[in-house]
Structure 1
Amino acid sequence: MRVLILTFGTRGDVEPFAALAQRLTAAGHTAVLAAPEPYRETVAADVDFEPMATEMDRVMRAGMTRLRGPAHALTLAREMAQGMRVSLQEQWQIAQQVQPTVIVGHPKALGGLHVAERLGLPFVASLPLPFLTPTSAFPVPFLSRQLPGSLNRISYDFNRFTALAYGGMINRFRRETLGLSRMSRRTDYLTTREGAAVPVLYPFSRHVVPVPADYPSSAHVTGYWFGESARGWEPPRDLAEFLGGDRPVIYLGFGSMAFGGRAEDRGRLVREALDEVGARAVVSTGWGALTIEPNEYIHPVDEVPHDWLFSRVDAVVHHSGSGTTAAGLRAGKPTLVCPVLGDQPFWGRRVHELGVGPRPLPLPRATSNALAARLAELLSNATYAASASTLSAQLASEDGPDAAIRVLEQIELQAGRHHGR
């Protein structure tokens, strides 16, 4: 196979696809990962990388810190739209260069389905949360509460938002660049123009989100796609020494959640809570999510590979992005989730329901006293550690990339038969 992988977003939207590309290459296939330039370093040396959506990535990172109201949001939306137009052209150019036999695309990349149609290739959608496929088991993960079964399914009409919001841009791309007819602005991203179901790869574990009984055969829950990003990584001496202390140490970080520019306020919240509970912490500043000064008990870091760091701490505290959540569960660590937006409350509920950590504490409403209380519970409740260890063993029994590769091989084979190849 020649697999072109198109993805965009934060680190949790890119690293699983880099891991899949690495395993495809190891299995003797050709894999090309197209993602923003800053993620080139996440790709193994034997995997081809093509920069794509780099301008969108720049706008997104800058917007995280300056977004403070409707005016800023409107400006950000205009800038992102321009970046999206450029990204669509990049995806078409890369596809012509690569000449893939299968295209795998994150929905945020926008162009994969249409480029695959133009080239007459199978397209496979993929993202690390159960967002695309309607089910009565739970609502679309962006909703914060459970609904009756029928309403749960209806909530997945949210997936039509992309076509409604960007349908004009997408149809211009289809018509002017690809020479295709327009698509309905009511599309749900899961059906081709011929009416066939679009296959979906879900790189999360059935031990974390049980596979709904009403999922169709086109939805494949494979298990997590973990890479080997920390292989050969050496920590700075001061970090290694800090981790060698004799008091419990936690990881704490909120990733890219820098909305509103309240980094100093979040740093103060974290410092006061850590002081109250008497724990040490490696604190990740992320994309400007928080600012904090080092002291005897606080060690700020910029970016440290999660698979290296999480195995060396006693517990993890984070916003529950899908990638960070997966890394913490893989490491078998008790977890406190402080969600901000999007699918983060969904993952926070799953962590709590699995018995791996306390009730989530929404970051926008957190106080130092509330955070300190949750931290104390996280470190003192032995059942969280036991449940986390059990879950980690279950995740270790899965080989998500291998399962995904077998699905892709079957899809390519069926496409070849259909076209008489």
Structure 2
Amino acid sequence: MKALILTFGTKGDIEPYIALGRALKDAGHDATIGTAWSYEDDVRALGVDFIPSNSLMLEVMQDALGSMAGPADLQRAAKAMTRGVRVSLDDQLRAVRSTKPDIIVYHPKCLGAPHLAEHLGIPAVLSLPLPFYTPTSSYPVPFIPRDLGPRLNRWSYGLNRAESLMYGGITNDFRHKLGLSSLTRWADPLLRPDGGPLDILYPYSRHVVPVPADYPATAHVTGYWFTGRGASWEPPQELKDFLAAGEAPMYIGFGSMGFGQGAEQRGEAITWALRSTGIRAIVATGWGGVATESSDDVLVIDSAPHDWLFPRVSAVVHHGGAGTTGIGLASGRPSLVCPFLGDQSFWANRVHELGAGPAPLPRAKITARALAERFTDLVETECYRSGSALLAQRISTESGTEQAVEILQRLA
């Protein structure tokens, strides 16, 4: 089997697909990942073939997340993405021509993938590490933070057609280039060209989000896809010394959630909260989500592989990205989630409902006093430690990438 994996996003969005590529290679298949050129080293480090795409969309995202202050900035960034989408479609066509795959696995931001698969007459498999596409009455689409009741929950998944509405003209231009007919802007993204249901791989744990009873057989919750990259990572001496110098510290980091205009205020609030509680901490600045300085009890770093670092800390504080949430729970460490946007409130609520951490503290409510209260609750509440440890044990029984490979073999 020759698999082409097309993906897009921040590093947390890319890592699961690298893990899938590695698992496909281990099973004797050919696997190539097509994504932004800046991830080439990450992909090739695990022995997976790589084909680069333009980084324009990623650069727009990075710029937006580094300076975004509100919805107006988000809207401007969406407009800037339009040109990036056109470039990305051509990159996806080039990747298909270069690799001649038997099957395509794609992140939904790779809009050309299902049309390329239709053109070639091969299967296309959608994949996303959150339950965003398959309608269910159990809970609403994850961008809606509260339960709406069974009927409205299911109806809310109509939001997944937003990309078809936004980029319908662009994708139809692309289809014409492939010799395919136009689609209506209301086309269902969950249907194959022959009208059958599209298969979807969901790389998260059923112990974190149970599989709804009304999910079809084409919605596959496989378990997490982890690269295990941290096993071979060599930490800088400064980090090793800090970890060895006292009790296990707390980890604090907001990943790609830049929002640079509030970085200094968040840094000041974190510093005050740590000082008032006496908690040691490692603070990761990421894309500028926090601006602070190291001290005797605080080590500031750019980043570190979460699967290496999280098992060595006492607890984790993060923004609630799907990847960070997964590694935090799989590491058996209690988590405080401070959601910024999108699906992060969904994961924040799941962490709390599972007994693996305190109630979420949204970005707008981050203050020094609120952080101090939540930090104390996070590290001193025994049930969070036992709950997260039990959940990690359950997650460890799953083999997400192996199950995904078996599904792809069957579909191809």
Determine if the TM-score, normalized by the shorter chain, exceeds 0.5.
yes
- Pairing 1:314–2:314 present: yes
Is the CA contact (8 Å cut-off) linking 2:319 and 2:344 kept in structure 1?
yes
| CA shift for structure 1 position 73 | 4.0
Corresponding residue SS for 1:238: helix
Q: Name 1:79's counterpart in structure 2.
A: 80
Shift of 1:151: 0.5
Q: Where do 1:185-200 residues align within 5 Å?
A: 185-200=185-200
State the 1:72 CA deviation. 4.1
CA distance, structure 2, for counterparts of residue 367 and residue 134 of structure 1:
37
Q: Deviations over 1:230-254 (max 9, x none)?
A: 1321111111111113234111001
Measured against aligned partners, the alpha-carbon deviations of 1:30-55 in whole angstroms (never above 9, x if no partner) come to 00011112222222342101112411
| Local SS of the residue matching 1:262 | helix
Residues 22, 48 of structure 2: 8 Å contact kept: yes
Q: What is the letter of the counterpart of residue 107 of structure 1?
A: P
Q: How do 1:97-108 residues align onto structure 2 when only pairs under 5 Å count?
A: 97-108=98-109
Runs (5+) with no aligned partner, structure 2: none
- Partner SS for 2:5: strand
* 1:187-207 Cα shifts (integer Å, max 9, x gaps): 231012321111000000000
Do the aligned residues in 2 keep the contact of 1:53 with 1:84 (CA within 8 Å)? no
Alpha-carbon separation, structure 2, partners of 1:407 and 1:401: 10
Structure 2 partner of 1:283 = 283
For 2:104, what is the secondary structure of its paired residue? strand
**Counterparts in 2 of 1:15-414, with a 5 A limit?**
15-43=15-43, 44-68=45-69, 72-175=73-176, 177-259=177-259, 261-412=261-412
Unpaired runs of at least 5, structure 1: 413-421
Distance change (3 Å), C-alpha of 1:333 and 1:71:
closer
Residues 27 and 168 (structure 1), Cα distance of their counterparts in 2 relative to 1, 3 Å cut: same
* 2:266–2:366 CA contact under 8 A, matched in 1: no
Provide Cα deviations, 1:380-401, integer angstroms capped at 9, x if missing partner: 0111111111111111111000
Q: 1:67 offset after TM fit, Å?
A: 2.6
Which residue is 2:4 aligned to? 4
Q: Distance in 1 between matches of 2:92 and 2:25?
A: 21
Q: Distance in 1 between matches of 2:75 and 2:59?
A: 16
Q: Are the equivalent residues in 2 in contact too, given 1:11–1:323 (CA < 8 A)?
A: no
Over residues 53-92 of structure 1, what are the superposed CA-to-partner deviations in whole Å (9 max), with x where a residue is unaligned?
A: 4111112111212333566445423321111100000001
Q: Which sits farther off after the overlay, 124-133 or 230-239? A: 230-239
1 CA distance for matches of 2:102 and 2:263? 45
**For the aligned residues, what is the CA RMSD?**
1.3
Matches of 2:282 and 2:380, distance apart in 1: 19
- Identity value in percent: 49
Q: Is the 8 A contact 1:42 1:229 kept in 2?
A: no
What amino acid does structure 1 have at the position aligned with 2:189? Y
Verify the 8 A CA contact 1:319 1:338 in the aligned structure 2. Answer: yes
Instruction: Give, as a single letter, the amino acid of the residue that structure 1 aligns with 2:283.
Output: V
Query: Which deviates more from structure 2 when the two are superposed, residues 52-61 or residues 330-339?
Result: 52-61
Contact kept in structure 1, 2:260 and 2:289, CA below 8 Å: no
Q: How far apart, CA to CA, are the structure 2 residues paired with 1:76 and 1:66?
A: 11
Aligned residues: 411
Post-superposition offset of 1:7: 0.6
Contact 1:248 1:279 in 2 (8 A): no
1:350: how far off?
0.5
Q: Return the alpha-carbon distance in structure 2 between the equivalents of residues 278 and 67 of structure 1.
A: 32
- Of 315-324 and 66-75, more deviation after overlay is shown by 66-75
Contact 1:157 1:188 in 2 (8 A): no
Give the whole-Å Cα distance in 2 for the aligned partners of 1:66 and 1:141: 24
C-alpha distance in 1 between matches for 2:150 and 2:258: 35
Partner of 1:416: none
Instruction: In structure 2, give the amino acid aligned to 1:289.
Output: G
In structure 2, give the amino acid aligned to 1:136: S
